[in-house]
Chains A and B, each alone.
Chain A
Amino acid sequence: MNKLSRSDPRYKYRLLEIELISDIDKTSDEKLIADAIEDGLDSEAISQEFRLAAMNLLAQSRRKLFAETKIKLEKSKVTVDKTPVTRPSIEQMKVRIQALFANKPDLAIAFRNGASQSESDWVTLWEDLVEMGIIKRDDTNN
């Protein structure tokens, strides 16, 4: 209660408030219920009101969190899509992959001989090798 003068109504009320709260702390459950009944209060209804208020706020908070997470995920997805794909030319790809197969014959087993593939097959194979970490994603060097 610093800053307040004794003549400040808030200071005076604070003194009353402390006593009133202390009285409730000392009041038994039975007396509390009896007083509520005397005042026409339904303790179950009061309890429900508090519970409902809390549940509504929790639901709101969860919806907000869900929406925020969704936005974050969408943003990160867009970022990935926007990343430009860098690959060497088809001819360079063929040379690099064939050299790779020559060094690692077991890898070639997964590929259909490599003799008469379409361009898209080469690109797909390149991407598969990038995914497997055998070739670096941004590797455009000869």
Chain B
Amino acid sequence: MIEQNENLDLTQRIEFAIAGYSSIDFLRLYRKANYLLPGTGLVTTIELFNEALVRTLEGTRKWPQNVAFEAYIWNAMKSIADGYRNLQSNKEEILSTDLIQSDDDQAIDPIAELGHLSLAVDDGLIEQEKRQQAEIDLTKIENYFKDDDEVTLVIMAIEDGISARDLCSSYEMTTTKYETARKRFRRGIDRLFPGRRKS
């Protein structure tokens, strides 16, 4: 990477950083960013990259002088993907009109519910939609590997927090078989979510 000059303006800093990126750097960013797409509704990594750059140029995201572009843009893309999946809380306040209507002798204290994000009607609908989107993509992944027992085991182990060693000893899987299954898993996801539109 090329060293940054503190006297450059933002557009020059970005231009400078992009010029210092090799095709391997971009390929690595592209591959990693592909894994951020499921559940976001986005189809291409370029959409995510563009969004991160637009927010930076508009000043809604700040790129600190002492942070390398590589780290900054990656974190910005991750954070934006989280936003698309509704994983970041944007609204801290709920109006009284957002509260669920119920009887006066209710067991739940309405005041205690203030600040509970799921009570806002719009937020609830968005949340439901984002959850469904993630469900669709997760089902797509599970279906893709449904005939591959070893990859299914790898997925299950990751989801359940089981270590590779424990998985191998419990299912009499060799390390090589585990590594190969894990590679098949990654390569399968690469094909399932190519990160580019078909030309």
Say yes or no: is A10 at the interface (Cβ < 8 Å to chain B): yes
Say yes or no: is A24 at the interface (Cβ < 8 Å to chain B): yes
Query: How many A-B residue pairs lie within 8 Å, measured between CB atoms?
Result: 121
Q: How large is the interface on B (under 10, 10 to 19, 20 to 34, 35 or more residues)?
A: 35 or more
Given A21-B35, A35-B190, A53-B46, CB of A43 within 8 Å of CB of B26: yes
Q: Interface-forming stretch among A56-64, A91-99, A132-140?
A: A56-64
8 A Cβ contacts from A4-56 to B: 4, 8-10, 12-17, 19-21, 23-25, 29, 32-33, 35-36, 38-39, 41, 43-44, 46-47, 49-51, 53-55
* Residues of chain B within 8 A of A82, CB atoms compared: none
From A13, A25, A47, A57, give the contact of B23 (CB < 8 A).
A47
From A9, A17, A46, A58, give the contact of B30 (CB < 8 A).
A46
Are A50 and B130 in touch, CB under 8 angstroms? Answer: no
* Residues of chain A within 8 A of B29, CB atoms compared: 50
Q: How large is the interface on A (under 10, 10 to 19, 20 to 34, 35 or more residues)?
A: 35 or more
Given A9-B134, A10-B87, CB of A61 within 8 Å of CB of B27: no
User: A105 → chain B, closest Cβ, in Å?
Assistant: 50
Secondary structure type dominating chain A contacts: helix
Are B35 and A20 in touch, CB under 8 angstroms? Answer: yes
Are A62 and B46 in touch, CB under 8 angstroms? Answer: no
CA distance A14 to B131 in the complex (A): 13
Secondary structure type dominating chain B contacts: helix
Say yes or no: is B50 at the interface (Cβ < 8 Å to chain A): yes
* Residues of chain B within 8 A of A46, CB atoms compared: 23, 26-27, 30
User: A18 → chain B, closest Cβ, in Å?
Assistant: 8
Say yes or no: is A112 at the interface (Cβ < 8 Å to chain B): no
CA distance A23 to B141 in the complex (A): 17
Say yes or no: is A104 at the interface (Cβ < 8 Å to chain B): no
* Residues of chain A within 8 A of B90, CB atoms compared: none
Say yes or no: is B11 at the interface (Cβ < 8 Å to chain A): yes
Please provide the 4 A-B residue pairs with the shortest distance between their CB atoms, ordered closest to farther.
A47-B23, A9-B134, A47-B26, A10-B134
Q: Which residues of B are in contact with A by a Cβ distance under 8 Å?
A: 11, 14-15, 18, 21-24, 26-32, 35-36, 38-39, 46, 49-50, 53-54, 57, 85, 87, 89, 117, 130-131, 134-135, 137-138, 141, 155, 158-159, 161, 182, 185-187, 189-191, 194
Selected A-B contacts with CB under 8 Å, 30 pairs: A3-B87, A8-B134, A10-B131, A13-B38, A16-B189, A17-B35, A17-B36, A17-B38, A20-B35, A20-B186, A23-B186, A24-B31, A29-B28, A32-B27, A32-B31, A33-B24, A35-B187, A35-B190, A39-B187, A39-B191, A39-B194, A43-B23, A43-B24, A44-B23, A46-B26, A51-B21, A53-B53, A54-B49, A57-B50, A58-B14
